[in-house]
Structure 1
Amino acid sequence: MQVLKALGDPTRLDMLSRMASRDEYPCTTLEHELPVGKSTISYHVKILSQAGLVSVSKKGRFYFYTLHRDIIEFYTPGLLGRLTSEAQVTEP
């Protein structure tokens, strides 16, 4: 149930679609791309992490996010494909 709640927020879906484009996604990139503050990003990452959808690692001073594609695919088959294809269509 935690997974579905985590996926029920548009900001978190946007974050997942961005993270799906790379093996590891830098936190600083999200801070520049999303129209929300650092604390809001941290909150959403915490929800995604608690649901088992994302893991967080630290390298030096920087944090990186890794998407657990298998878990997302298990609970919502095809979601990542739809998110990444929509992201490609909307980007200039």
Structure 2
Amino acid sequence: MSEAFLGYLPAMGALLLFTTSILVTKVASSRIDLGLGFLIATSTNVVFSSLALAVQPGFWPDGLLWNAQAFRRFAAAGAFTTYLGRWVFYE
């Protein structure tokens, strides 16, 4: 597989998961308390992220390298997409 395809594959997976979460949220919002829903969503995110972090080193046998510029860009993207994106989406 080409490196470009391997870059698009996680992006397509993230888009599919985001779409699924929107649909599930729409159905569940009328059936569950907001506080409990937030707790479930947060717990699910933490568990999934922990599993992804545990599996990730297996893909890089040489180990993971720290890149400060990539981290700053990732943090900025998270702030814009997670906070501002969802605020605009639900507004």
Do these two structures clear the TM 0.5 threshold for a shared fold by scoring above it?
no
TM-score, normalised via structure 1 length = 0.29
TM-score, normalised via structure 2 length = 0.29
